[in-house]
Structure formats: C-alpha cells, structure tokens
Amino acid sequence: MNKYISDLCSFLDSSPVNFWAVETTRRRLEAAGFSALDMRHNWQIVPGGKYYITKNGSAIFAFVAGTAAPGEGGFHLVAAHSDSPGFRIKPHCEMLCDGGVVKLNTEVYGGPILYTWFDRPLSIAGRVMLRSDNPLEPACRLLRIERPLLVIPDLAIHFNRAVNDGVKLSKQKDMLPVLALGCDDAAGLVRATVAAELGVEAEEILDYDLSLYITAPAQTTGLNGELICSGRLDDLSMVHAGLTALLENADKPSEHTRVLAIFDNEETGSGTKQGAASPVLEHILRRITMALGGSETDYMRAVAQSFMISADNAHGFHPNYGEKYDPTNHPALGAGPCIKVNANCKYMTDADSAAVFARICEIAGVPCQYFVNHSDVAGGSTLGNILTSQIPLRGVDMGAPLWAMHSACETASTADHVATIKAFSTFFGM
C-alpha cells in the first residue's frame, strides 16, 4: 500500500471524533518539533520556528514562521475541519427498557445519513471534565473506549415490508443505541463505565462531550486498492493531507509563514469560538505578525498578500446517480482534487484563485478538476466563504471527491489523496 494511504488509515483510526483528530494532529506536530503556544500568554517566536495553538481541544492551528516577516512574506494557509456528523450522548442518557435492555439517549450532530449507522458495532469517544481545585478550570481527560460497546439495531423487514421503498427515520425514536442487557437499574451506567475506563471515581466526573463512533477501521477496496472506505473522510482526509504537506516542508526555509488551520463545528455552521465564523484565526494571524515585530499595518499587508486553500471534500460523480450532477462539471473519483465553484459565492473560489490552484496542481504534476452544482440542486457551504467574513483572504475552496458524503462509511480515491498531498506540499514548498 502507498505510504500516504497507510498513514491516512492510521490517522483516521486514531481520530474517532473531533477531540481525537486534534490530539492525533498535535502529537504528530510535537514529534516533528513544533512547540505549543498558549493564547493566554505572550508569545516568543522566531523566524523559521514551528508552533501550534489549540482551541477548546477541538481546533488546532500550526504554523512555521517565515524567514521574512508576515508583512513582507504573507501567509500560505491550508484550512480544514476536525468534526464529522454523528451522535452526541445526552446528559442523563440511560433509558431502561422492557426486559432489562438499556439504550442511550443521543442527539444528532450535523447531518449524518442516519440509516448508515444501523447494525454496526459502535463505541464512545470524546472528552470528560473532572473535578479540580479550581472551579473555573476543571481537569480534562480524553476518552476513547476501543472495544465495541453499542449497536443501533434496525427493525426486521417482517415488521416493515416497505423498508426498501424508503423509510422516514426519527432521530429520537429510531436511532438510539443499545448498551446492555439484563439490567435492573440503568442510572449512572455510562458515568460508571467512563470512570472505570479513566481510572477515576464516578463522583469526579462533572460533565462530558462524548460521541458515538464506528469501531470498524479504515480500509482500502477496489480491484487495485484504488478506493478507501472509512468514516470521517470528510474532512479528516483533508486534515491529513494538509498536515502531511506541512510536515514535509516544515524544515525547508520559506519567506511565507505557512499555516495549517483545523477548525471545529463546520458541520453545524462554524458558529462557535473554535469555528471558522469566530475571530480565532484572525487573532492568531494578527498575533504572529505582532510577535515577529510587525505593526497593525503589517498585519493588513500580510493578509493582502496571503493565499488560503480551504480544503473540504467535494461530491464525486456517482455512477448510479448521474442525473444529480452538473452536465459538464462532474468530477470523477481518481481524476484529482476538485476546485469548487459557486456563482452565488457559497465557495470563495473565483477565476483568480482557481487559476492559482490549477497552476499549483500543474507544478505538482497532478490532475485537477472542477466541481459545480447541478443548477437545480442546492449544494453545501464550507469554511472558505465563512472565513472571509473575518479575514479578507484571497483563496480557493477545493477538496478531493467523495461518494456518500456524511455516510457512516464514506468512499474516496487513494490516488486523489496522494495527488492532494502533492498539491499542498507544492504550495507549502513555495
């Protein structure tokens, strides 16, 4: 298997939810000599230095300071997101049912394809907040239960003969996972399980952000291994591509300050302190400029000469549903990363930024293609245009094409992933 693809599989497997995607990224940055900066402190940074900042434990921003000050060299950015659609565990989540069956009360996060979560072994991952001496600073522990713990069982076809004609699913009734059998009392079962896993007393747990995840690992498929199937390819495949490209170039000097920006909560509209609609990246870019001796004017000069690649997956042409796609711009899996274009500015791409990305791909020696919506089909939005409301950056929205976006198991092309890394690496190597 190609080294980038086996590395992508291990990245996906070690990143079951947003907090773990950030932790996996953080560990790789640390291993490559990046040092942590804290937003609460003053920063001491030097040209050529490698740094990162986390926000809420679910967003991460890494940069290599340019040999030129930002006012002279500008920023080269790749942005992507850490979150994926799925299910969050509610407080007071245990529900004891007839026969001692315990199911969990969950809430849907973002827009998953609900039925793809049926009948698969699931487990729990996220973060747990523990009692500490300072009420304003609870201790935080990441949790990932590796063994399968849950399943959302579908209804037998004998109870719904029309199931293959399409079923309307209730998020509150149909999608609740089963945790255990034979229980008399369910209250506190999740807390006790989490406490045992972390090796703490249940009373220490103040709260949690826990989600379900699918325990099946990422796998390649296709006659020649040309496809990869995994949960969370949107957008962790782009996170992996951006991170890999940054690490490949981090020790090569560049006058540009290279930035990898991984936001949270893209799937719910980016409207949190760690999301792309907040000023978090703007604060970071401004502080990098100032910490390297620049002025407010230098920051604005830096923004004016920067370029951002906003990387979020595109919809690849599906052989069973050709009618859903634009007649002349339907990207094929395996034919390279896609420039995403929308006349109503749902994407930040324009002819200028598309031209830049097309040239980057040309120099990288990889193909690139266009994604445009069928004019009667409303498309999604992504990070790029949301970010530009905070920072007037020049940039392009792009992404490798996927099938079954927001399925519990999405499918992409291995060749496209390698091509995307090469394009990002060329960009960061400039």
Residue numbers at the binding site for Zn ion (CB under 5 A): 234-235, 312
Backbone φ, ψ for residue 62 (5° rounding):
-110, 145
Q: Tell me the closest approach of the beta carbon of residue 398 to Zn ion, in angstroms.
A: 12
3-class secondary structure, 87? strand
3-class secondary structure, 190? helix
Q: Among all chains, which residue has been given the structure tokens 């929205």?
A: 397
Q: Tell me the closest approach of the beta carbon of residue 266 to Zn ion, in angstroms.
A: 6
Instruction: Choose among 351, 261, 378: nearest CA to 310.
Output: 261
In this complex, which beta carbon is closest to Zn ion, that of residue 111 or of residue 253? 111
Q: Tell me the closest approach of the beta carbon of residue 79 to Zn ion, in angstroms.
A: 11
| Cα–Cα dist 145/212, whole Å | 10
In this complex, which beta carbon is closest to Zn ion, that of residue 53 or of residue 236? 236
Residue 53 near residue 36, CB atoms below 8 Å: yes
In this complex, which beta carbon is closest to Zn ion, that of residue 130 or of residue 309? 309
In this complex, which beta carbon is closest to Zn ion, that of residue 23 or of residue 235? 235
The Cα-based distances of 254 to 230, 248, 363 in angstroms read 35, 13, 17
Q: Is the peptide bond before 13 cis (omega within 30 degrees of 0)?
A: no
Handedness of CA 241, 245, 250, 253 (dihedral sign): negative
In this complex, which beta carbon is closest to Zn ion, that of residue 257 or of residue 265? 265
Q: Are strands 219-221 and 401-403 parallel, antiparallel or unpaired?
A: unpaired
In this complex, which beta carbon is closest to Zn ion, that of residue 312 or of residue 326? 312
Q: Tell me the closest approach of the beta carbon of residue 84 to Zn ion, in angstroms.
A: 8
Residue 351 near residue 364, CB atoms below 8 Å: no
Handedness of CA 288, 289, 293, 296 (dihedral sign): negative
Q: Tell me the closest approach of the beta carbon of residue 270 to Zn ion, in angstroms.
A: 11
In this complex, which beta carbon is closest to Zn ion, that of residue 23 or of residue 267? 267
Helical segments of 316-350, H only: none
Q: Is 129 left (phi over 0), alpha (psi -120 to 50) or beta?
A: beta
Q: Tell me the closest approach of the beta carbon of residue 238 to Zn ion, in angstroms.
A: 8
Q: Among all chains, which residue has been given the structure tokens 């031209």?
A: 355
Q: Tell me the closest approach of the beta carbon of residue 78 to Zn ion, in angstroms.
A: 14
In this complex, which beta carbon is closest to Zn ion, that of residue 220 or of residue 310? 310
Residue 290 structure tokens: 């100032």
Q: Tell me the closest approach of the beta carbon of residue 235 to Zn ion, in angstroms.
A: 4
In this complex, which beta carbon is closest to Zn ion, that of residue 62 or of residue 262? 262
Q: Tell me the closest approach of the beta carbon of residue 243 to Zn ion, in angstroms.
A: 16
| Cα–Cα dist 189/394, whole Å | 51
